[in-house]
Chain A
Amino acid sequence: MAISTADEAIPSPGMPEDAASAAPAARHHYPDQSWVWYVTALSLALGVMLALAVRTTAHMNSAGFAYARLGVSSAVVGAWREQSVQQQQQLAELNNKLRDYEGRIDERIKSVEGLKKEFMLFKAAAGLVGVEGPGLKIVLRDSPKDPLPNLDPEQLSSYMIHDQDLNGLLNELKAAGAEALAIAGADGKEFQRIVAMSSARCVGPTAVVNGVSLSAPYTILAIGNARNLRRALEMPNGFIQTRGLDVLQMIVIEEDTKLALPEYSGSLSLKHARPTPADE
């Protein structure tokens, strides 16, 4: 009669336990204590498995599967794993989008910086910020020479600087490629930047530029290619010769490698002109 472990475990119903234990002992002739070794060996194996199970359970608990004991089948674990993979993909996609947006923001910042630079260039060209650079320093003064005798009033007036001299000089400099112009009066310090709306007008003994009265001698600063500017002024039959400024010693031209011009200080308000809407 083969007895399985299961059979051993189930007590025979209605049979006194003494009888059940006494009969097999007589039938088998195993050494009395040999079973202890078997049980010990298997207990050791069981202990290893138990340790593994405990470790796995602890691992699962720490990984957030606290409720996931035997009730969760491997299929469910697989589904979770799939979900995790999907979520990681989503995460990667979102990260990519984020990087994309960051790149766009960088581009926008760059374009804003470009606009700022362009804006500063516009302002410099319009005379709304101070500028510096090489160019000419020109002094216009009334002639130090005594007028020749017997001159009519018109010829006499050419011994003095007039607004047409100033405007003519400024125009000539602009035509010669001057990029920034400024003019100061007798003090030679308070420069008025010449902008699109500036003009020089004689009012009595003074010239009014940007609403500020200036008196002779005038100092004009022109930023540009100094040699070109000078040649344009000094060319035969040019501005200086036709006006006789050189003969009457009314003009002094100096080249300077670093002129500093202030910004336009007058009003910028436009009463009539409106920007034309740009067609795009």
Chain B
Amino acid sequence: MPLDVADYLSLAVLAGLDSVFGGIRAGVERRFRSDVFLSGFLVNMILAVVLVYLGAVIGVRELYIAAVVTLGGRIFLNLSVIRRHWLERHPASGQK
């Protein structure tokens, strides 16, 4: 694997992770749409890669941080929503 690709691949993985969690969240909220999910997966990934490339080109290497912060924050948000849904479906015994 060429070293140049490493930066892009890492951020693409992060974008993919975000999309997958978003899809799970939409699934548990019962408003999942495959077209939205797939296009979101691809477009987010491409966008993240473009962001890193743009940063390298215009000399603002830290531009990738924007993508990392946004995607990371959304992953946590989606996870928290999924967790709540899980807890509503399987309430703890004390809350019954």
Report whether A52 and B1 are in contact in the complex, using a CB–CB cutoff of 8 Å. Answer: yes
List chain B residues, Cβ under 8 A from A20.
29
Report whether A70 and B23 are in contact in the complex, using a CB–CB cutoff of 8 Å. Answer: no
B5 beta carbon closer than 8 Å to chain A: yes
Report whether A73 and B7 are in contact in the complex, using a CB–CB cutoff of 8 Å. Answer: yes
List chain B residues, Cβ under 8 A from A55.
1
A120 beta carbon closer than 8 Å to chain B: no
Q: How far is the CB of A192 from chain B (nearest CB, A)?
A: 84
47-62 of chain B: CB within 8 A of chain A: 52, 55-56, 61-62
Nearest CB to that of A41 among chain B residues?
B38
Q: A9-B74, A74-B56 are in contact. Are A24 and B30 (CB under 8 A)?
A: yes
List chain B residues, Cβ under 8 A from A2.
36
A66 beta carbon closer than 8 Å to chain B: no
Chain B's interface size range is: 35 or more
- In the bound assembly, the distance between CA atoms of A69 and B11 in angstroms comes to 11
Q: Which residue of A4, A5, A9, A43 has the most chain B CB atoms within 10 A of its CB atom?
A: A5
A65 beta carbon closer than 8 Å to chain B: yes
Partner of B20, one of A39, A73, A75: A39
1-56 of chain B: CB within 8 A of chain A: 1, 3-7, 9-13, 16-34, 36-41, 44, 52, 55-56
Partner of B33, one of A21, A30, A46, A73: A30
Stretch at the interface among A56-64, A111-119, A181-189, A193-201: A56-64
A237 beta carbon closer than 8 Å to chain B: no
Partner of A74, one of B7, B21, B36, B41: B7
Q: A5-B44, A9-B25, A73-B61 are in contact. Are A25 and B31 (CB under 8 A)?
A: yes
- In the bound assembly, the distance between CA atoms of A63 and B81 in angstroms comes to 41
Report whether A3 and B44 are in contact in the complex, using a CB–CB cutoff of 8 Å. Answer: no
Nearest CB to that of B81 among chain A residues?
A11
Nearest CB to that of A43 among chain B residues?
B20
List chain A residues, Cβ under 8 A from B30.
21-22, 24-25, 32
A67 beta carbon closer than 8 Å to chain B: no
- In the bound assembly, the distance between CA atoms of A74 and B4 in angstroms comes to 5
A50 beta carbon closer than 8 Å to chain B: yes
Q: A8-B36, A28-B31, A43-B20 are in contact. Are A49 and B74 (CB under 8 A)?
A: no
A and B contact pairs by CB, cutoff 8 A, 12 listed: A8-B22, A9-B22, A28-B32, A35-B26, A42-B19, A42-B38, A49-B13, A52-B9, A53-B9, A70-B64, A72-B61, A73-B55
Q: How far is the CB of A51 from chain B (nearest CB, A)?
A: 10
Report whether B19 and A17 are in contact in the complex, using a CB–CB cutoff of 8 Å. Answer: no
Give the interface SS of chain A, mostly helix, strand, loop or mixed: helix
Report whether B22 and A5 are in contact in the complex, using a CB–CB cutoff of 8 Å. Answer: yes
- In the bound assembly, the distance between CA atoms of A270 and B4 in angstroms comes to 81
Partner of A9, one of B9, B27, B62, B78: B78
Report whether A39 and B4 are in contact in the complex, using a CB–CB cutoff of 8 Å. Answer: no
Partner of A35, one of B34, B56, B77: B34
Nearest CB to that of A37 among chain B residues?
B34
Report whether A56 and B3 are in contact in the complex, using a CB–CB cutoff of 8 Å. Answer: yes
- In the bound assembly, the distance between CA atoms of A27 and B11 in angstroms comes to 34
List chain B residues, Cβ under 8 A from A43.
20
- In the bound assembly, the distance between CA atoms of A17 and B10 in angstroms comes to 32
A268 beta carbon closer than 8 Å to chain B: no
Q: A2-B36, A30-B32 are in contact. Are A70 and B13 (CB under 8 A)?
A: no
Report whether A49 and B9 are in contact in the complex, using a CB–CB cutoff of 8 Å. Answer: yes
